[in-house]
Amino acid sequence: MHEIPKKNYVILFFTAVTVVVVTFILMNIYNNQPKNYHSVVKEVINEIKIDDLENYLQENRDVVLYINDSTKENHQLGEQVKKLIVDNNVQQYFVYIEKNNDVSQRYNLHKHNLALVAYKDGEVAETFDEPEYTIEEIESFLVRNEVIESD
């Protein structure tokens, strides 16, 4: 019977230890990456990029921009807005835009999480950008801008 050199066992041991260490390092890097969050409202409305907004507004003259930073979203309010949109069947009047510096500067938005911008005939009719708000205030905004009918 052929004897296996001890050098091969040492190489196998160091290879196995290296694989385990590299695996833990890569797992740690992966777990420390920023998490991708998603807005619950994006489940029912379309999303566009700010670069595509002009083209979108040429085709859709009456629209509400739902501007949000999904990494900081208030999920309870997001669920309520989603329900409001679905219950009133107004998904076609909304479009989601992820909030970033370009969007904030374009609409002069504050640091608050959620902002709504209503367009009528291709022009900004009203901007809703408050530090805190309730679903009732959002519903009132949508009624004022004739997206939904008042009860």
- C-alpha distances in angstroms, 16 versus 3, 23, 42? 22, 11, 45
The pLDDT of residue 13: 95
Residue 119 has pLDDT above 70, yes or no: yes
* Stretch 41-52: mean pLDDT: 88
The pLDDT of residue 78: 83
Residue 75 has pLDDT above 80, yes or no: no
The pLDDT of residue 36: 61
* Stretch 62-88: mean pLDDT: 84
The pLDDT of residue 15: 97
Residue 25 has pLDDT above 90, yes or no: yes
pLDDT tens profile 63-72:
999 888 766 6
| Contact in structure between 102 and 123 (CB atoms under 8 Å) | no
> pLDDT category, 50, cuts 50, 70, 90?
confident
Average pLDDT, the chain: 85
List, as one string, the DSSP characters of 86-149: HHTT-GGGEEEEE--HHHHHHTT--S-S-EEEEEETTEEEEEE--SS--HHHHHHHHHHTTSS-
> pLDDT category, 35, cuts 50, 70, 90?
low
Residue 134 has pLDDT above 80, yes or no: yes
* Stretch 73-83: mean pLDDT: 82
